[in-house]
Structure 1
Amino acid sequence: MGDEEQKLTERGRGRPKTDPRDAETRLRLIRAGLEIATERGYVATGVGEVLRRAAAPKGCFYHYFKDKEDFGLQLIDAYEEFFAKMLDRCFENRALSPMNRLKAFVDAAKAGMEKHQFRRGCLVGNLGQEIASLSDAMREKLIGVMEDWQGRTAGCLALAQDMGELSVSRNVDELAAFFWIGWEGAVLRAKLELRADPLDSFAKVYFHLLKK
């Protein structure tokens, strides 16, 4: 913890003059944290910068979060909720065939990166690269998120099998795990190169493999 964060911690022990305990302030802090962590990573996310970006009172951070680890855990929860909604919108879209639902997710995720000029990546992927600096609680939560994503994807692929889009001889759990291993790598490369080509390249190869 840096000097600035230490001072904020000490000041945060007392209740600020204005009560910051409202949902709007907490939401602004979470959003600011997600923006910074998806841009530069969790380790580089400082409490002071989060407060400034959220336009929140300096003393309020520790009214919402016990410490930075607690903040990180809540960031993961918020990101998981956001991402689950996007997956559900795509995977439960009955207007599309199951395979096209997975393609719709790829398009939606790519559009999200394009919206921010490829400067923001996946929070889970970013944290995975910083695993040596994270607590066991954060690591376990990240694993749980990835397993949830893989489970949803496996369900979509199983439906594709039921509808004849995917051979029943294929192992949907393995295909789902492979998708997320490759997709997270493609997201990292797209963020590095600031362009969509890595995402398009991975998707092209992945869906080609599913046809075999």
Structure 2
Amino acid sequence: MTAEAKEMSTKDRLLEAGLAMLLKQGYNHLGIQALLAETGIPKGSFYHYFRSKEDFALQVVDRYMQQVHQGLDMSLGNRALPPLQRVRRFFELSREKYRSEGYLGCLLGGLGQELSGVSDTFRHKIEGCFNLIAERITDCLEEARQCGELAAEQDPRQLADRLLDCWEGAALRSRLRRDPGPLGAMLDFYFAAATR
């Protein structure tokens, strides 16, 4: 293994473990010592890759967004499905991911609730991530509007923003209940309302 590959694998291991721990414990309860114990990586290596706990968590958000964009690519890029079904498919895949993780929900929503009132850095970062997701969904909803799945007067960006707002609320309820019910009910309600 080359030194570069070893470095990447060490950083990747820290980010992957951090993602799981941030989902489960949140930022304030994430201990660097616990992270190092989980990964078996020495403290000096952590500070080789990350300036601080905040820098680490922001890079975990970037890692999470890579996964989100992969899900968006897979769903929104599936031209075998009509546009609205592609949008819904992204959220259905997200629901399945939440199930596999024990209904811990969305990292962006969790960190946003925990930190947006105390950290402008995290507030701006997370809002920026939601905007990127909304932009991707907006493009697909615009396609739905152009092909007649949505009424001509519908505003695709507004619909995308409302969809994310509703999803994040349902994700919180799903986390509280450890149950996918709120997520499915929200999708049914939203798509029925959007196509009236």
- TM-score, reference length from structure 1: 0.86
Corresponding position: 1:47 with 2:32: yes
The structure-2 alpha-carbon separation of the partners of 1:158 and 1:132, relative to structure 1 and needing over 3 Å to count, comes to closer
The answer for the alignment partner of 1:184 in structure 2 is 168
Distance 1:71 1:48 in 2: 13
Given the superposition, is the C-alpha separation of residues 21 and 59 from structure 1 closer, same or farther in structure 2, using an over 3 Å criterion? farther
What residue is the counterpart of 2:10 in the other structure? 25
Q: 1:42 to 1:117 in 2, by over 3 A?
A: same
Question: By how many angstroms is 1:106 displaced?
Answer: 1.8
- Residue 94 of structure 1 corresponds to 79
Is the Cα contact below 8 Å between 1:161 and 1:167 reproduced in 2?
Answer: yes
Give the Å deviation of 1:131.
2.2
**1:166–1:189 CA distance, 2 compared to 1 (3 A):** same
Are 2:124 and 1:140 aligned?
Answer: yes
Residue of structure 2 in register with 1:38 after alignment: 23
Question: In the alignment, which residue of structure 2 is the partner of 1:169?
Answer: 153
Given the two structures, how large is their TM-score scaled by the length of structure 2?
0.93
Task: Measure the CA separation in 2 of the matches of 1:26 and 1:54.
Answer: 10
User: 2:25, 2:131 → 1: CA distance?
Assistant: 24
Most deviating of 194-203 and 36-45: 36-45
| 1:40 shift after superposition | 2.0
Runs of 5+ consecutive residues of structure 1 not aligned to the other structure: 1-19
Establish whether residue 69 from structure 1 lines up as the match of residue 54 from structure 2: yes
How many pairs align? 192
8 Å CA contact 2:102–2:178 kept in 1: the answer is yes
Deviations 1:71-127 (A, max 9, x none): 111111111111111111101110111011012112101110111221x22111011
Which residue pairs with 2:195 in the alignment? Answer: 211
Alignment CA distance shift 1:21-1:136 (3 Å): farther
Does 202-211 or 46-55 show the bigger shift?
A: 46-55
Aligned to 1:14: none
- 8 A Cα contact 1:21 1:63, kept in partner: no
| Contact 1:72–1:138 (8 Å) recurs in 2 | no
What does the per-residue CA deviation read over 1:155-209, in whole Å, with 9 as the maximum and x for residues that have no partner? 1110101111111111111111000011011111111101110001100110011
> After TM superposition, what 4+ stretches of structure 1 lie above 2 angstroms from structure 2?
131-138
Contact 1:183/1:199 (8 A) holds in 2: yes
Identify unmatched segments of 5+ residues in structure 2.
Answer: none
The answer to whether the Cα contact below 8 Å between 2:112 and 2:122 also exists between their aligned partners in 1 is no
Separation in structure 1 between the aligned mates of residue 147 and residue 65 of structure 2, nearest angstrom? 29
Helix, strand or coil at the partner of 2:81: coil
**CA distance in 2 between partners of 1:63 and 1:21 (Å):** 13
Letter in 1 for 2:51: K
Identity percentage of aligned residues: 35
> C-alpha separation between the residues in 1 aligned to 2:119 and 2:54?
8
